[in-house]
């Protein structure tokens, strides 16, 4: 369930947007003023803020940045508010939602807040490999033990985490997720543990971190392998002592939280390399659930595709259609390197592009996936690199990858095979030398 904070009066089109979001499972909170909104974000928190352009969107964003609150903001207002929309996006708003609201846009907005399109869905499983994982997840769901969820990007780690929470004794409590790779160290520390008034410049009031927001419920630490070693030590203490130390605090705050952690890295290898604390690893790895990649659970491909086809047909007001035999064969042939996320995107496109009574293969656009030979680089490419310094080639590769990923640091780091911390250090060096680096999307901070 996404937590949506609305800054503006719940009357007229904004009230309609609130009811649409609520009908899709969002928990709604409302604020009339900027100060009230910031107070809510310091306390219970939210996954997304919907701010009417009649309020000071730029002031809200400045307040969030000053208080180290990493919460995306979407501005909203009448369609004719073009100037206000542009100003809001330039100030750092993730997007602009025209009012009166469109149900599809509301759904997409909530899905983005949940992390991924499949983030709020129950697992779809038919393949024995996935059914075995779900059986084990159900077996441990009602316990309070920490669970480490591993698997490639796009396999549905957050989906499984939400399923565990929903099947647990904490299901009535909050489910709070935090992507440890998406934030720099200082912001991540404040997000996790909160801070007291005056803890740093801009800390005008005390703020509850994700641990306190998840009290009585479940906290998912996604991409845990990217966390800085100093924060790993503080996290370990919080898990062991069941209490957190806010930044600038003088006494610990007791918390009752179940920890789920997710990673696409081999944490045991990270421990051996000295990049991850072994004591924290053993605390998190009480129960391990490894999600198989989609290519290793082929019996799930068609059920998942049918699930997404129904979902996106309904979301776009289209008739539900079945896949033709040729389309089904094309889906089964593809290796799905992007896993469930890639499948979802392909089916979404196919639903929109398909013509006729069914979804044919012509509507399914799939990226070619033939791997290059491991030790056979193109001669022309090598010749183009001869005479250049290694750091120059590395710089061009990193900046080019960032451009390809539209500034998405997490995705670029995955493609490059480096940690998000290493990528941020490179970006800092490039900017310090005067180079232009593609900006991060949304509210991301370098």
The predicted pLDDT at position 409 comes to: 79
Write out the two tokens for 302. Answer: 């068609």
Convert 142-172 to b/e letters by CB count within 10 Å (16 or more is b): eeeebbbbbbbbbbbbbbbbbbbbebbebee
Judge whether 53 and 76 are in contact, CB under 8 Å.
yes
- Please name the residues in contact with 145: beta carbons below 8 A apart, sequence gap of 6 or more: 286, 287
**Beta bridge pairs of residue 31:** 7
- What is the second-level CATH architecture of the domain 383-432? Orthogonal Bundle (1.10)
| CATH number, span 295-363 | 1.10.8.60
Is 128-290 in the same CATH topology as 3-114?
yes
The predicted pLDDT at position 121 comes to: 56
**Beta bridge pairs of residue 207:** 195
Distance CA 328, CA 298 (A): 12
- First vs last C-alpha separation in the chain: 28
SS (H, E, C) 295-361: HHCHHHHHHHHHHHHHHHHHHCCCCCCCECHHHHHHHHHCCCCCHHHHHHHHHHHHHHHCCCCCECH
pTM above 0.75, yes or no: no
Fold of 3-114: Rossmann fold (3.40.50)
What does the pLDDT profile of the chain (446 residues) look like in tens digits?
Answer: 678 999 999 888 888 888 888 887 788 999 999 999 999 999 889 989 999 999 999 999 999 988 888 888 999 998 888 888 888 888 888 888 888 887 777 777 776 665 544 444 568 999 999 999 999 999 999 999 999 999 998 899 999 999 999 999 999 999 999 999 878 888 899 999 999 999 888 888 999 999 999 999 999 999 999 898 889 999 999 999 999 999 998 899 999 999 999 999 999 999 999 999 999 999 999 999 999 999 999 999 999 999 999 988 887 788 999 999 999 999 999 999 989 989 998 999 999 999 989 999 999 988 775 443 443 444 444 455 666 677 778 888 888 888 776 677 777 777 787 877 788 888 888 887 777 777 665 434 45
The predicted pLDDT at position 386 comes to: 61
Distance CA 319, CA 192 (A): 44
Distance CA 352, CA 373 (A): 35
Can you give the residue ranges of every domain in the chain? 3-114, 128-290, 295-363, 383-432
How far out from the chain centre does Cα 101 lie? 24
Residue matched to tokens 């708003």: 93
* 420-432 and 390-404 helices, crossing angle to 10°: 110
Distance CA 70, CA 215 (A): 19
Distance CA 2, CA 238 (A): 25
The predicted pLDDT at position 376 comes to: 40
| CATH number, span 128-290 | 3.40.50.300
DSSP conformational letter for 247: B
Strands laid side by side in the 147-150 sheet: 175-179, 218-222, 258-263, 147-150, 287-290
Tell me the torsion sign for CA atoms 261, 267, 123, 120. positive
**Helix, strand or coil for residue 238?**
helix
The predicted pLDDT at position 70 comes to: 87
Containing 287, the helix (H) or strand (E) segment is strand 287-290
Query: CA gyration radius for the chain?
Result: 23
């Amino acid at each position: 369930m996404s937590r949506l904070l609305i800054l503006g009066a719940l009357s007229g089109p904004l009230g309609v947007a609130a009811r649409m979001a609520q009908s899709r499972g969002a928990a709604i909170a409302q604020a009339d003023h900027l100060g009230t909104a910031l107070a809510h974000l310091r306390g219970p928190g939210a996954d997304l803020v919907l701010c009417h352009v009649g309020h000071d969107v730029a002031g809200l964003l400045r307040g969030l940045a000053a208080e180290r609150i990493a919460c995306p903001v979407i501005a909203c207002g009448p369609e004719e508010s073009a100037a206000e929309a542009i100003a809001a996006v330039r100030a750092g708003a993730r997007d602009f939602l025209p009012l009166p609201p469109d149900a599809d846009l509301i759904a997409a907005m909530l899905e983005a807040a949940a992390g991924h399109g499949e983030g709020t869905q129950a697992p779809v499983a038919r393949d024995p490999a996935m059914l075995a994982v779900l059986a084990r997840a159900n077996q441990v769901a009602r316990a309070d033990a920490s669970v480490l969820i591993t698997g490639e990007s796009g396999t549905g780690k957050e989906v499984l985490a939400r399923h565990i929470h929903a099947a647990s004794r904490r299901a009535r409590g909050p489910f709070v997720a935090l992507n440890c790779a998406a934030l720099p160290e200082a912001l991540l520390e404040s997000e996790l543990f909160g801070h007291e008034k005056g803890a740093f410049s801009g800390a005008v009031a005390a703020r509850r971190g994700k641990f306190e927001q998840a009290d009585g419920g479940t906290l998912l630490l996604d991409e845990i392998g990217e966390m800085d070693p100093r924060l790993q030590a503080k996290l370990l203490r919080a898990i062991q002592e069941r209490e957190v130390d806010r930044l600038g605090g003088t006494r610990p705050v007791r918390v009752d939280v179940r920890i789920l952690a997710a990673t696409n890295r081999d944490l045991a290898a990270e421990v051996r390399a000295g990049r991850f604390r072994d004591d924290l690893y053993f605390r998190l790895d009480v129960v391990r659930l490894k999600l198989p990649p989609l290519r290793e659970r082929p019996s799930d491909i068609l059920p998942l595709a049918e699930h997404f086809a129904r979902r996106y047909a309904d979301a776009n007001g289209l008739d539900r259609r079945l896949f033709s035999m040729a389309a089904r064969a094309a889906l089964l042939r593809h290796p799905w390197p992007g896993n469930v996320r890639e499948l979802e995107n392909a089916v979404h496109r196919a639903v929109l592009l398909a013509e006729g009574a069914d979804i044919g293969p012509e509507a399914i656009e799939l990226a070619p996936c033939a791997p290059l030979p491991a030790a056979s680089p193109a001669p022309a490419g090598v010749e183009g690199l001869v005479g250049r310094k290694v750091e120059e080639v590395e710089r061009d590769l990193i900046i080019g990858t960032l451009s390809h990923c539209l500034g998405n640091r997490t995705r670029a780091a995955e493609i490059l095979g480096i940690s998000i911390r290493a990528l941020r250090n490179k970006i800092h060096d490039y900017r310090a030398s005067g180079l232009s680096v593609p900006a991060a999307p949304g509210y991301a901070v370098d």
